[in-house]
Every structure is written in C-alpha cells, then in structure tokens.
C-alpha cells in the first residue's frame, strides 16, 4: 500500500455514536505527514472513541476512514498494523516478561514470526532509549510504575515504526519532566514525516508542542493550526469556563478562570 502525496489519515463525513448518544457527526478531517495533532475537549466528548475509530477498532455510525488513501474497513489487521499504531490509556499485562520482549512485540508485524533478528533487537533498544527507559530493558514488566509502563507502550509503537501514531492520553501517568520529554518526542516524530494524533487534557502542552489541534465540544468542533485554534473564545465554548492568555518567559499560557 503506497501513500498518496496528501493524507496519511482522512475522515470523510464520519459520525460516531455510543448507544443512543451521537458524539460526532459529519466529521471531515485530514492528517498529513509532518503534522502532530492534539485532540482537546471535555471528558466524555469522544476523544478516545475518535482515536479507536481511526485505528479501526471502533465502528463508525456513518462515513468512512481512509488510511494512506485506502478505505480502512478494506484493510486486513496486518496491513493496518504495518501503517498505524495505537497507544491505549491503560496497559494491561497478564504475565511477567522482560521489558525488551514487550517492545519487541512491535516488530512482529514486519516479519510475521516470534524470532526477532539482531536488527529487531537493536530497534527495540533504540526505542527504549528514546523514551528514557533503556536501563530497564531487562526488568520485569509487572514491576514498572504506571508511567513507566505507558512509556514502554510508546516504545513498542516506535519499534512498530508506523506511518500514523494514535495515542490516547499519552501524558496522563507522567510526571512533568516526562510529559515534556514525551511531547518533544512526538513533535520530533511528526517532523520526521510521521502523522501523530494524541488526545490530551493539558491545553498548554497542546498549544506548545502540537502543530495542529482538533477541539471538540457539544455540537461544535474547530480544527487547524494550534495557534489559530487555541484561543480563549473557542476554549471557553469547548470547556465551559473562561480563559485568559498570558505570556510567561516568552511562552503563551492559557489560564482557566471561574465563571462569574
């Protein structure tokens, strides 16, 4: 499957529904190589559902997703795994294994077997280095903290080496330093020609690192370059509170204020 020049991921009039509740309706949206999108919005607005649908794991109520110019529903699981990866909010491990073996699972789709090559092992170690966990390569997966386990999940995606990275709240279990490291890494991935989409609760992290923002609200949405979307009026409409924009050490920050 070869990519067209324009989009890695494309939503064409996509509607998403959970039970009787419609979360999104008629979404037209594109992710190009080199773009890092953050998806912002209140809890329950549909950020996770959107990512799962884009990964082919959640059915759409209407419309169509395309991955590298091909309808998503027409691709086999193996084809999807070669071109898109999804990091879930929570990592569930049923049994112990060395961390490096968990990361090597990301290489399975490239050769279809459980006998990793020397190159696979080198790529897995490089991925652990990029997320700051190379010292834990031999550690038992079950002994890791939630934040460390989340970064092992990201390292597995890096080893998988897809065109599109979908990440559900990747900073949720991370301390401040790890959040900055992770967001810098995601921005670097995009700068290298990947497409990156991450749901996020931190407006300031999104406005600082993302190239683009998809902001979701009840019955409304805004999509475009981060500096155009992250503005007080749109944020107030989406989150239901007031925001003031301030400059701190040369960086713009959005501070929420209580409603009058």
Domain assignment present for 193? yes
Domain assignment present for 120? yes
Q: How far apart are CA 21 and CA 243, in angstroms?
A: 29
* Structural domains in the chain (count): 1
pLDDT on residue 247: 81
The pTM (predicted TM-score) of the whole model is 0.93
Q: Which domain holds residue 66?
A: 9-257
Domain assignment present for 73? yes
Domain assignment present for 133? yes
Check if the beta carbon of residue 195 is closer than 8 Å to that of residue 55: no
In angstroms, what CA-CA distances link 232 with 2, 40, 44, 213?
Answer: 40, 14, 21, 14
Domain assignment present for 2? no
pLDDT on residue 258: 78
Residue 95 burial (CB < 10 Å; 0-12/13-18/19+)?
exposed
Domain assignment present for 3? no
Q: Flag residues of the chain having pLDDT under 70.
A: 1-5, 112-113, 259-260
Domain assignment present for 236? yes
Domain assignment present for 4? no
CATH number at residue 35: 3.40.50.300
pLDDT on residue 132: 95
Which are the contacts of 194, defined by CB distance < 8 A and separation ≥ 6? 8, 33, 34, 162, 163, 164, 165
pLDDT tens per residue, range 91-104 = 887 789 999 999 99
pLDDT on residue 92: 81
pLDDT on residue 113: 67
Check if the beta carbon of residue 45 is closer than 8 Å to that of residue 90: no
**CA neighbor of 223 nearest in space, from 11, 23, 4:** 11
pLDDT tens per residue, range 160-214 = 999 999 999 999 999 999 999 999 999 999 999 999 999 999 999 999 999 999 9
């Amino acid at each position: 499957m070869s990519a067209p020049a324009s989009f890695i991921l494309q939503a064409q009039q996509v509607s998403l529904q959970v039970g009787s509740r419609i979360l999104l309706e008629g979404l037209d949206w594109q992710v190009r190589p080199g773009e890092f999108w953050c998806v912002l919005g209140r809890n329950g607005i549909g950020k996770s559902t959107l990512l799962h649908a884009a990964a082919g794991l959640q059915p759409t109520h209407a419309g169509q997703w395309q991955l590298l110019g091909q309808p998503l529903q027409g691709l086999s699981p193996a084809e999807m795994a070669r071109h898109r990866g999804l990091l879930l909010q929570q990592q569930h491990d049923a049994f112990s294994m060395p961390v490096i073996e968990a990361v090597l699972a990301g290489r399975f789709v490239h050769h279809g077997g459980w006998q990793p090559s020397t190159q696979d092992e080198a790529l897995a170690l490089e991925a652990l280095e990029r997320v700051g966990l190379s010292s834990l390569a031999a550690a038992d997966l079950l002994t890791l903290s939630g934040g460390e386990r989340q970064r092992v999940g990201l390292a597995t995606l890096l080893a998988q080496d897809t065109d599109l990275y979908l990440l559900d709240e990747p900073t949720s279990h991370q301390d401040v330093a790890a959040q900055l490291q992770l967001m810098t890494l995601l921005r670097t991935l995009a700068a290298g020609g990947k497409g990156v989409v991450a749901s996020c609760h931190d407006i300031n992290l999104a406005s600082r690192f993302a190239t683009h923002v998809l902001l979701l609200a009840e019955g409304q949405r805004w999509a475009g370059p981060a500096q155009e979307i992250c503005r007080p009026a749109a944020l107030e409409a989406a989150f239901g509170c007031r925001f003031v924009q301030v400059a701190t050490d040369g960086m713009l920050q959005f501070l929420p204020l209580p409603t009058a």
